[in-house]
Amino acid sequence: MTKDVISIILGGGAGTRLYPLTRRRSKPAVPLAGKYRLVDIPISNCLNAELNRIFVLTQFNSASLNKHIKNSYHFSHFDKGFVDILAAEQTPDNPTWYQGTADAVRQCLHHVENFDFKYVLILSGDQLYQMDFRDMINHHIETGAEISIATIPVSAKDASDFGILKTDNTGAIVSFTEKPSQEVLPPWASEVSDEMKGIGRVYLASMGIYIFSRDVLFDMLGKQPEAADFGKQLIPEAIEAKARVFSYQYEGYWTDIGNISSFWEANIGLTDDIPQFNLFNESQTIYSRARMLPPAKISGTMEKTIIADGCIIMASRLERCVVGIRTRIGKGSVVSNTYIMGSDYYQTLDELDRASAEGRPPMGIGEDCVIDKAIIDKNCSIGNNVHIQGGDHLPDGDFEKYTVKDGIVVVKKGVVLPDGFNI
């Protein structure tokens, strides 16, 4: 069954809501949990489900994403599996870039059509979840669906942020509404499990995860060349045309990494005693680039903190922090509620001497710093006695060295904060 599936992961648009993390990289390339990238999540879900023919469609700021995929996913010479990048390309027949999710897949069909497959699994590159796609594929086959949409029950409060689907008693989707207001919601309730009913999650939101039967996908994309998006155009039109569109209900943890606040919460949530997203589930391994880094060296007090490989931590205290690879934190520093992405390399002794001569701090976080409610992007050099205090008291704003969104301070990639800098 899994040999009948081709997976397509959408690299997403410009990712403006995740700025400045997407200033120089695409959304799927944003570092996650100190050692992964967001794109590792859908790829790992595919590999864990024995789906090993995967295309990743890229367009915006794609250099770091392409490099990560090239360096991470290698298969045996005797294996037919692959993770291939399909970058947006202009051709004599099509001079435009990707105009939306459906248009991106349409433009890449000529790269896909020569493979032997019956079903196409279409995924987003910027969501956090662990799903066994084999269950969804079996459900698609058993229901005789032409299109299957993964849905998650949400409350009335959250429903207005999603496309909401209405199902009949067989699980077939009979209608769709985009981000409905609270006043019109009640008739849109669908049949969900007793557990979901008990907590008021009775509205089915689209997760942006689709399975198409091959012929149906090719036919729809060919006959509707102006339809640029699955969620806004093709799928609502298929439901309207009474196609066999079925819901596959998923009740596990899932979050759409749509903005700085959700990204910060998803990472800091990993430090909980029993996190909703389980990094330690061996049946749901998260694959990524293998790095030959030394173990972390740690002094000081730590509580609910994740430390990646290759770190040198001399801080007085870390609490509810995610600390990425190769991070250095100096003596006396106190860091809380913060995601530190780490560094891409270690500075050499010559580089450290040069930085010292020029009055620049070394990469990492210096001594006697106090940092709370922040995201420190990669390769930052933060001096001694730097104070960063995020919170609701800070208005949103974009500045030369940092951005504030929803009270979270995001220090931009590669910047230098001198000794005594205050936010």
Residues 181, 312: one domain? no
pLDDT tens for each residue of 110-148: 888 888 999 999 999 889 999 999 999 999 999 999 999
Bridge pairing between strands 203-213 and 328-329: unpaired
pLDDT tens for each residue of 195-212: 999 999 999 999 999 999
| Omega before residue 418 within 30° of 0, cis | no
Residues 202, 315: one domain? no
Query: Which residues sit opposite 244 in a β-bridge?
Result: none
Strand, coil or helix: 250 = coil
CATH number at residue 98: 3.90.550.10
Residues 91, 175: one domain? yes
CB neighbour class for 298 (10 Å; exposed up to 12, middle 13-18, buried from 19): middle
pLDDT class of 185 with cuts at 50, 70, 90: confident
Q: What is the pLDDT of residue 97?
A: 61
Residue 173's domain comprises: 2-270
What single letter denotes the amino acid at residue 131? M
pLDDT tens for each residue of 312-369: 999 999 999 999 999 999 999 999 999 999 999 999 889 888 988 888 899 999 999 9
Domain annotation covers residue 321: yes
Supply the angle between the helices 214-223 and 101-112 in degrees, to the nearest 10. 120
pLDDT tens for each residue of 166-175: 999 899 999 9
CA gap 127, 143 in Å, rounded: 26
| Number of domains forming the structure of the chain | 2
Domain annotation covers residue 284: no
Residues 124, 40: one domain? yes
CATH number at residue 323: 2.160.10.10
Domain annotation covers residue 229: yes
